[in-house]
Structure formats: C-alpha cells, structure tokens
Structure 1
Amino acid sequence: MPGMTRRRALAASGLTAVAATVPAVPVTAGTARPPARGRIDVHHHAVPRGMREWAEQQGLIPPGGGPSWADWSLKATLDTMKANDIAAGVASAPIPAEVFQDRAVAASGVRICNASMAGLVRSRPTRFGFFANVAMLHPDLALEQIAYAFDELGADGVLLNTSADGRYLGDPMFDPLFAELDRRGAVVFTHPFAPKGIVEVPGVEEYIGDFLLDTTRTALSLIAAGTLERYRRVSVVLSHAGGFLPYIVGRAEGWGREDGGPDPARIRYALRRFYYDTALPMSPYATPSLLNAVGADRVLFGTDWPANTAPEVRVNTRDFDRDPGLGDREHRAIGRDNALRLLPGLARRIGR
C-alpha cells in the first residue's frame, strides 16, 4: 500500500547498539568473503498463501499488496537468496500475541500459520526451515501446539514474541512453555514489537529504536527471573543483535552490585547463553561491542527479509562481507556454521 510505513501497517492491523569506537573506514571497506556453500539466514520471514489468506480474513493485512513484510512471494524470496548467497532461510512469521487473545482464533490461526510454514519447508526442504508460532496467552494450548509443531510438522524451533499483553518472557506465566522447550532441548527465536503503551516519537519509525528496547527488556526479564539458569537446554536467539543488551552490560552489572539485581556473574553468564542475529544490522558499527561481549560463536546471520527489502538486504549483506571487524573464521561461523550447529534438523536436510 503506497505510503504504508511499518508503524502505520502495525497500527492498522492491531498489531543502535553503537560501538565505543567506530572504525574510521567507509562501510564498504574491506574485501568481500562469501562463505563456502552459502549462508544460513535465521531472521527470515515468510507469509505463505495459507497464512496470507487467514491474515486477510482476520483483517490483519489488506487483500493483495500491503506492506513489504506481508507482500511475500516464493519467487522474490528465492531471487533474493540467490543474489546474496543464502543457502537456506529459517522462516518465521511474528504475529502480535494479542491477535490470538480469543482462544478459538488462537487454536485455528496458529494451526494454519504453522501448517503453511511446514508446507513451505516440504516444498523446498533444502532451502527452508521454520520456527513455529504458539498461542503465548494460552499456555496450555501453547504446549499442545509445541508438541504438534515438533512431532508432526518438523519445526526447527519456536517463535516467541518478546512480550505478550505486556508480560515479558521471564514472567512465571511462561514457565510451563520453557519447561517443555527445555525438555526438548529446543531453540527459541524471539521477535520484538514496540513496548506496550510506549509514546511515539514523531517522524521516527518504531523498528529503529522501540523494537530494540523490547528485545532488551525481555532479555533483562529472563536474566532477572533466572529463566536461563533453570532451563539450561533451551537456546534463546535475540533478534537484532540483542537490541541494546551487549552495549549496556556494564550498567546491568551495576544494577546487580547496588540495586538488588542479579549478581554480575549471573549477568555475564546470561549474556553468553543467548544467541544473537546480525539483523540489527550488526556490521560494521555494532560488531566490536557484540563480539567483545559474546564472541563470534554466539552470533547468527540474519537479514529480516522481507521487512528489509531486497536492496536493503543486499546492502546489509555486503557490509557484513566487508566488515573489518570480522576475520575469516568469524565470518564463516556467523554466516553458516553456528546455525548448522544450533539447528541439527536443518543441517541434516541441507547437508553440512
């Protein structure tokens, strides 16, 4: 829809981390180093036909067209993957949890969304994986959906929004979900929206800062609640390079020393328990902070396609390839190897 920004699209549907020292080189400096055999894109959105039809029926997106994240096609996706040497994308469809407030809508809608994603994987098993949706506001139903997604549909992990109706992931409400995901040794991909009730900044889109704040808030919630320590077999991926988390660790440690927060050692432990994707985008500005905080083995390549358009994906991928803060080992680990280690089902389908 002409003029439909992300803010307007989300509103209509009801729906920087900066390094301490910025490299004194242009963004395009360095030599491009495409990883052998192709990248794995873990922050990769899709809206297959069945899901699209359901979303139109619910009034979440208009019939035909719509914002870039909703106007998805397999051809455009495969073209963008080819242009950027992306071997496989792990598809997800972030839908505000409040859309599934009604239990009947939650039961039918989540099933349709997950079946659509599974169909995409079946049609191109070496090109796609998927993170399954669950009805976060109905934990008992979510447990059934987790079982169906893994046992029947072959999901590679679960998508959890950073918050649901104002509750962040450390809330006790979500403990049954984490207990079951821990039992399965599952991967959780988190995705933000703007924090509930936040005041808009005129002229500034929500995805620029507010989404990053929401990711940071849920990470701090998980740390404060001790969720990562109780459920050690769950792997949690923070979108957009962890929001502001890697940049504010020193401040968080002060919270632990002086204001009753978690012990600084627990904060440092949690920092290296999370995984982070590159879809901030990370390169080149956030690279030094992120790698100094967590190391290259906790970072995964991500594009945010198609919320990021094809030209923007190309710019961000080029910058990643030429990032002066990455050596060859780090570049390959982030581009491919870390994802294959984290997602064994995908690794089996596409071959290592």
Structure 2
Amino acid sequence: MTRTAEHIAEQTADQPGPGLVDVHAHFVTDSYVRQARAAGHELPDGVPAWPAWSAEAHLELMDRNGIRTSLLSVSSPGVHFGDDAAARGLAREVNEDAARVAAEHPGRFGFFASLPLPDVDGALAEITHAFDELGADGVVLETNTHGVYLGDERLEPVFAELGRRRAVVFLHPTSPVCWERSALGRPRPMVEFIFDTARTVTDLLMAGTLERHPGLEVIVPHCGGALPVLADRINGFMKLFLPAAGSGAPDAVEQLRRLHYDMAGPAFPRQVPALLGLVEPDRLLYGSDYCWTPAHGVDAHIASVDAAPVPTGAADWRSLTTANAHRLLPRLAGRPLRTPEE
C-alpha cells in the first residue's frame, strides 16, 4: 500500500521531534549479492552472512522509528571487484535500482550513487548519469578500492567534477588490503572500518583535496571513526611535513570541522561526546546503518539517541539532525537544489 503523507504523520505522531533523515542507510539486491559472491565476497568483510533487504521491510522499520526519509547506498565491498567493465555495469545497475525505489516511494527514499573507482573515466561517466538522469542526492565512495585511497592523485578529475557540482560525498569504510594480518581474524567492521575511515580522510587532508575543492560536502560515517581522537595528531604532522599548510591555509582541525558526521554505530555514551570536542552540533546527522545493522539493532540505537543528552540550545537529536540534513540536502526540505554556480 502506498504510504501517504497522512499515514506517515500518523505513524510518527508519538515520536519526539520531526521525521528523521537517515543519511547512512543501505540496500542490497539479489543480483548485487550474486555478483559479489562470484567475485569471492562470500562472507563480506568477515561478517557471517549477507543481509536481506526489501523496500517494504525498510519502510516498516522507518515508520516504527519515525524516520521520514532514508538515503540508500551500497555498502562495502562496493562495486569494483577487479574488472573495470564489470564495475561500470554493476554501478549503473545498482544506481538505477536505487533510483527506481526512490521513484516508487516519493519522499521516503533518496540515494547516493555508487561509482566504479578506481576507474576514473567510468566514474566520470557515472557521475553524469547519476546526477543528470537519475537525480542522485550524492555519491558514496568506499574509503579505498584495491588499495587506492581517496587522496590518490589519479582520482583528482573525479573530485574536481564532484566539487564543481557541489556534490554530497558520503564516505563508507571497507577493508584495507592488509586485512589478512591486521584484522586478526575478527570481522573487519569492528575495528578496521574505523581506522580505514581515518586513513582515507587523512589522505584527503594531506593531499590537499578538500582544500582544492571547497564545493565538496563530505559526510564521514560512524561519528568520525577514530578522527576525533587523532585530529590534533594529524594536525601536528601536517604542519611538520607540509609547511605550506601553515601559511594561511586552513589547518587539519579547521578542515575537519567543515565536514559532516553521521551518528551510525554505538554513538552513545562515548563517541558523540568525543566528536563534539571536534565539531559543532550543526555538523551531525542521523544514520541507522540498516540493513547491515539488523532492525532490532536500529530500534535500540535510535532509543539510545532519543535518551541521550542534547547539546545546549537543541530541542532534541531528531530536530537537530533533521535540520542539519535539510541544509545539506535541500531537496528533502522541499527547497530548490543548489547549483554548481552557487
């Protein structure tokens, strides 16, 4: 049954604050899982099994928890399994799947498009298709693809185009190439994802990518991973080894404060307070990590967010993060989209 605006309001009437915007929400399709398994990802990133996903189950979760809109993206291991042509085809497939879900449920879903990195030409073609034909809300970039991190100079044309479009760039961690030794046999999302996020953001800082392309609107997942703890250390090393960084250009901490951070994962009682030592509350966004986090885990996570202390001046986390999301993604608030010229 199509969910009307009245139905949505009725479902969320007992939830504090406005309907949430979930910027960290995933989907999988049977075709995607089949192709990933064929490429050797039987146990993706060391987790026991692939999750199941359907729009209907996702909407039930959203209605139960007062989530108005979810931005869908493909999680790790992404779409590039070693062959450029196959990656281009899979990126196009999952992006069109996500666009179809969004069109079938207006107002409930948006999506961040996958790109076939490190294939630069394929990524540029998919950026054009995703934004101009499919109406993507942004792109999702894995923290590395086969060891190519996001500060790599070969990816400069991709960031130049995303910056020109003032695109929202949602980062998502994946396993580092050294995971066989570094993960110690444990599931990589537990620790490796957190440090691969810090690794790729540090690479973007050291390469000057964020400073060269101020139009980029970057979302860092999982409360910034290890970045709140490492920010001052990164800043010190940048000043030591990149003297130009100290000649009037924003330092690492200032650049990190310009980014956006979602609250997916165990946000409380420790991670969000640590993050608020680095950034202002207007940089925080809600994220569920569904369907890789199961529904009962999302229920518990959002209950912990609702119960957590709120920054001074904010009514509640729902109002705060939703207002932040509407500024970042004005389409969700019914406002005109930003243009590259703005």
Question: TM-score band (shorter)?
Answer: 0.7 to 0.9
Aligned identity (percent) is: 39
- Contact 2:286 / 2:322 at 8 angstroms: preserved in 1? yes
Q: Which amino acid aligns with 1:342?
A: L
The aligned residue for residue 220 of structure 1 is 202
The one-character-per-residue Cα deviations of 1:153-188 (angstroms, maximum 9, x if unpaired) are 010000111111212111111111111111111000
Find the aligned partners of 1:347 and 1:68 in 2 and give their Cα distance. 36
Q: Which amino acid aligns with 1:204?
A: R
* CA displacement at 1:265 relative to structure 2: 4.6
Match among 290, 294, 308 for residue 323 of structure 1: 308
Q: Which has the higher contact order (CA 8 A, sep 6+)?
A: 1
Q: Which structure 2 residues correspond to residues 126-275 of structure 1 after superposition, within 5 A?
A: 126-198=107-179, 199-202=181-184, 204-260=186-242, 262-263=245-246, 265-275=250-260
Find the aligned partners of 2:36 and 2:147 in 1 and give their Cα distance. 23
Find the aligned partners of 2:220 and 2:108 in 1 and give their Cα distance. 23
RMSD over aligned Cα atoms: 2.5
Find the aligned partners of 1:48 and 1:82 in 2 and give their Cα distance. 22
The aligned residue for residue 17 of structure 1 is none
Q: Which structure 2 residues correspond to residues 258-297 of structure 1 after superposition, within 5 A?
A: 258-260=240-242, 262-263=245-246, 265-297=250-282
* CA displacement at 1:279 relative to structure 2: 0.7
Q: TM-score, normalised by structure 1?
A: 0.82
CA distance 1:120–1:152, shift in 2 (3 Å): same
Is the aligned partner of 1:39 residue 2:25?
no
Match among 344, 349, 352 for residue 330 of structure 2: 344
CA distance 1:125–1:55, shift in 2 (3 Å): farther
The answer for unaligned runs of 5 or more in structure 2 is: 1-13, 336-342
The one-character-per-residue Cα deviations of 1:116-170 (angstroms, maximum 9, x if unpaired) are 0001101102100000011112101110100000010010000111111212111
- Contact 1:303 / 1:316 at 8 angstroms: preserved in 2? yes
SS for the counterpart of 2:23 is: strand
SS for the counterpart of 2:196 is: helix
CA distance 1:304–1:338, shift in 2 (3 Å): same
Q: TM-score, normalised by structure 2?
A: 0.84
Find the aligned partners of 2:239 and 2:326 in 1 and give their Cα distance. 38
The one-character-per-residue Cα deviations of 1:69-102 (angstroms, maximum 9, x if unpaired) are 5311222211211221111100001243573431
- Contact 1:195 / 1:213 at 8 angstroms: preserved in 2? no
* CA displacement at 1:60 relative to structure 2: 4.9
Find the aligned partners of 1:252 and 1:335 in 2 and give their Cα distance. 27
* CA displacement at 1:67 relative to structure 2: 6.0
The aligned residue for residue 311 of structure 1 is 296
Find the aligned partners of 1:38 and 1:307 in 2 and give their Cα distance. 22
- Contact 2:175 / 2:192 at 8 angstroms: preserved in 1? yes
Larger deviation, residues 123-132 vs 195-204: 195-204
Larger deviation, residues 197-206 vs 313-322: 197-206
The one-character-per-residue Cα deviations of 1:332-351 (angstroms, maximum 9, x if unpaired) are 454311111111223329xx
Find the aligned partners of 2:284 and 2:168 in 1 and give their Cα distance. 14
- Contact 2:224 / 2:261 at 8 angstroms: preserved in 1? yes
SS for the counterpart of 2:270 is: coil
Q: Which amino acid aligns with 2:297?
A: E
The aligned residue for residue 3 of structure 2 is none
SS for the counterpart of 2:174 is: coil
Is the aligned partner of 1:110 residue 2:96?
no
SS for the counterpart of 2:215 is: coil
The alignment covers a number of residue pairs equal to: 314
The one-character-per-residue Cα deviations of 1:308-337 (angstroms, maximum 9, x if unpaired) are 111111111111111125453462454311
Q: Which amino acid aligns with 1:191?
A: H
